[in-house]
Amino acid sequence: MCGIFGFTTENAKNAGEVLIDGLSSLEYRGYDSAGIFTPESGAVKAVGPASHLKRKMPAGFFGRSGIAHLRWATHGEPTEENAHPHTDCEGEVWLVHNGIVENFKELKTKLAAAGHTFASQTDTEIIAHLVEEHLKTEPDFAKAAIAAINEIRGTYGIAMQYRADPSKIVVARMGSPVVIGIGEHERFVASDPSPILRHTRDVVYLEDGEVAILTPESHEIYKLHGAPVERAAERIEWDAAAAQRGGYEHFMLKEIMEEADAVRNTSLGRLIEKEGMVKLGGLESVEEKLKQVKRIILVACGTASYAALAGEYMIEEHARIPVEVDIASEFRYRTPVINDDTAVVAVSQSGETLDTLEAIREGKRRGALTLGIVNAVGSTIARETDAGVYLHAGPEISVASTKAYVSQLTALALFTLFLGRQRGVSIEEGRVIAEALKALPERIEEIYKRTKDIQRIAKKYADARDFLFIGRKYNLATAFEGALKLKETSYVHAEGCGAGEMKHGHLAMIDEHFPTVAIAPSDSVYEKTASNIQEIRTRKGPVIAIATDGNEEIKELANDVMYIPKTIDMLTPILAVVPLHLFAYYFARQKGINVDRPRNLAKSVTVE
Q: Which residues are catalytic?
A: 2, 603
| One-letter amino acid of 116 | H
CB 408 within 8 A of CB 304: yes
Q: Give the neighbor-by-neighbor strand order of the sheet with 323-327.
A: 323-327, 295-300, 342-348, 369-374, 387-390
Q: Which segments of 267-394 are extended strands (E)?
A: 271-272, 277-278, 295-300, 323-327, 342-348, 369-374, 387-390
- In whole angstroms, give the CA distance from residue 323 to residue 102: 35
Question: How many CA within 13 A on the CB side of residue 533?
Answer: 28
* Kind and range of the H or E run holding 322: none
Q: What are phi and psi of 351, to 5 degrees?
A: 70, 10
**Residues 6+ positions from 512 with CB-CB distance below 8 Å:** 540, 541, 542
Beta strands 516-519 and 543-548, pairing class: parallel
Single out the residue of 374, 395, 392 nearest to residue 384, CA to CA: 374
Q: How far is CA 219 from the centre of its chain?
A: 28
| One-letter amino acid of 23 | L
Establish whether the linkage from the previous residue to 85 is cis, with ω within 30° of 0: yes
- In whole angstroms, give the CA distance from residue 61 to residue 425: 65
In three-state form (DSSP H/G/I as H, E/B as E, the rest C), the secondary structure along 49-113 is CHHHHHHHCCCCCCCCEEEEEEECCCCCCCCCCCCCCEECCCCCEEEEEEEEECCHHHHHHHHHH
